[in-house]
Amino acid sequence: MTTLDETHDPSLQSWVQSANAADGDFPIQNLPFGVFRRKRGGEAFRIGVAIGDRVLDLAAVAKTRGAIGAAVAAALGDVEASTLNGLMARGPATWSALRLELSRALRSGADAQGDLTACLYEQSDIEHALPARIGDYTDFYASVYHATNIGKLFRPDAPLMPNYKWIPIGYHGRSSTIGVSGERFHRPVGQTLPPGASVPAFGPSKRLDYEFEVGIFIGTGNDGPIPIASADEHVFGLCLLNDWSARDIQAWEYQPLGPFLAKNFASTISPWIVTMDALAPFRTAWTRPADDPQPLPYLDAPTVWSEGAFDVQLEASLSTSKSDAANQPAMPLTRTSFRHSYWTVGQMVAHHTVNGCRLMPGDLFGSGTASGPTATEAGALIELVEGGKKPFTLINGETRTFLEDGDTVVFRAWCEGTGTRAGVRRIGFGECRGTILPAR
């Protein structure tokens, strides 16, 4: 059972003043991990932690003389590491201990303030690399709403497959083309079958879409099946993931072996990994409709039901060439919560390994498009526009059926201390942003 500790105390304040803003993503109760360097100077990438509008350089902290320096050095092992894989491999006791030491050192009045002040940079002055060396990337399909919405378009006669409510459906994706927020990529080119045609066409995708997913970073690997009861302990944390999709390429290529070139040209993740510890206050009950099958025993445990879900608010927005030229902020597309996921993160881990498949530190799962139960909670444009029949109108009056060149899709996410969690400190994920360049 997930327990809260002093790091979750909502009254904690940091000596980094910007961390104390009420609506900030990175208060002292969060402390997400990433990999960064300063924008100029050709520095090596290294591990950092977000605090307010700053990043704490853990490689620099490890070289300070006090207790926090020693604690960081011990937890990281290789303090010059340019990925989180080493820390991920050390396991949840190390992750929690490091987070506790960082929380104490960053609190108002901490002795460490003197040493650590010199280890802070403004986030506006840094750039990110991928937080981990991602060996394998697996994309799940865990929203029954997305599976049903998309199924209706691809297979009107059988939108939801008979296996859907039994199996956390997943497939392998491409790790080499995963990029970090801020990336710009060319519209993919490929084969499509135009409506009514019997011979494929070749050219730039005309139905380019985003998919709003939650990214799940594996911490410790396995040798043999991971029991559902301990599955969450193998997860280092969550981020945001845009699984860009070329719907026209996908429709023509995906049978019988699944999506391939429709997905592997680019996937974009947010730079900060929000840890399972930081998310503990936002875990919530997982439910299934009464008529649905119960999970098979290898996917079932009391904690799946009591706290299997994560109530993470997900918000997608769009900037266009036109809105950028007018200096307008990104315009809202949709909003939902990850708590609607039909399958839990732990179930994904248990299922993935039940056959003996080996997970490695730094492996990434995508949740699948995290659509919610109503039409306005769709996690992809294809759902919002009903397969292309009904364009979506943006607040500046522009319309979109699919994405156009120059469009920037921005995902943000946060966990709120409202309702039954009144008083719990809000934490956020930062943003996941990507821009479409014209086809080559």
CA nearest 82: which of 40, 121, 35, 127?
Answer: 35
Question: What are phi and psi for residue 208, nearest 5 degrees?
Answer: -85, 135
Beta-strand relationship, 245-246 and 208-209: antiparallel
Is 170 or 308 the residue whose CB approaches a copy of itself more closely? 170
**Active-site residue list:** 146
Pick the closer one to a copy of itself by CB: 350 or 424. Answer: 350
* 348 residue type, one letter: M
Whether the bond into 256 is cis, omega within 30 of 0: yes
Is residue 378 classed exposed, middle or buried when 0-12, 13-18 and 19+ CB atoms within 10 A define those classes? buried
Only segment of 84-92, 138-146, 274-282, 402-410 that touches a copy of itself (CB under 8 A): 138-146
| Site for a copy of itself contains 202 (CB under 8 A) | yes
User: What x-and-dash track marks residues 170-199 binding a copy of itself by CB under 8 A?
Assistant: xxxxxxxx-------xx-xxxx-x-----x
Nearest-angstrom CA–CA distance, 173 and 247 = 16
- Give me the 217-236 binding string for a copy of itself, x by CB under 8 A, dash otherwise: -------xx-----------
Scored b (16 or more CB within 10 A) or e, 379-390 reads: bbbbbbbbbeee
Considering beta carbons, is residue 143 or 313 the nearer one to a copy of itself?
A: 143
Q: Is 296 in the site for a copy of itself (CB under 8 A)?
A: yes
Between CA 338 and CA 410 the distance in angstroms is 17
Site track 249-268 with a copy of itself (rule: CB under 8 A), x = hit? x--xxxxxxxxxx--xxx--
Residue 186 or 335: the one with the smaller Cβ distance to a copy of itself is: 186
Q: Give yes or no for residue 292 binding a copy of itself (CB under 8 A).
A: no
Q: Provide the 8-state DSSP code for 251.
A: H
Structure tokens at 342: 């039909």
Q: Which is nearer to a copy of itself, 333 or 350 (CB)?
A: 350
Cβ neighbours of residue 227 closer than 8 Å, sequence gap 6 or more = 298, 350
Smallest separation (angstroms) from a copy of itself to the CB of 207: 14
Task: Decide if 36 contacts 48 (C-beta within 8 A).
Answer: yes
Query: Following CA atoms 341, 343, 347, 351 in sequence, which dihedral angle do they give, to the nearest 10 degrees?
Result: -130
Site for a copy of itself in 307-366 (CB under 8 A): 351-352, 354-360, 363
Q: Does 153 bind a copy of itself (CB under 8 A)?
A: no
Element (H, E) at 352: helix 345-353
Q: How far is the CB of 144 from a copy of itself (least distance, A)?
A: 14
Beta pairing class for 189-192 and 274-275: unpaired
Residue among 247 and 426 whose Cβ is closer to a copy of itself: 247
Instruction: Please name the amino acid found at residue 36.
Output: F
List Cβ neighbours of 324 (8 Å cut-off, separation of 6 or more).
406, 408
Q: Least separation, in Å, of the C-beta of 227 and a copy of itself?
A: 12
Q: How far is the CB of 181 from a copy of itself (least distance, A)?
A: 18
Least distance from a copy of itself to the Cβ atom of residue 256, Å? 6
Candidates 64-72, 112-120, 137-145, 269-277: pick the segment binding a copy of itself (CB under 8 A). Answer: 137-145
Contact footprint for a copy of itself (CB under 8 A): 135-136, 138-139, 141, 151, 154-155, 161-163, 166-167, 169-177, 185-186, 188-191, 193, 199-200, 202, 224-225, 246, 249, 252-261, 264-266, 293, 296-298, 351-352, 354-360, 363, 440
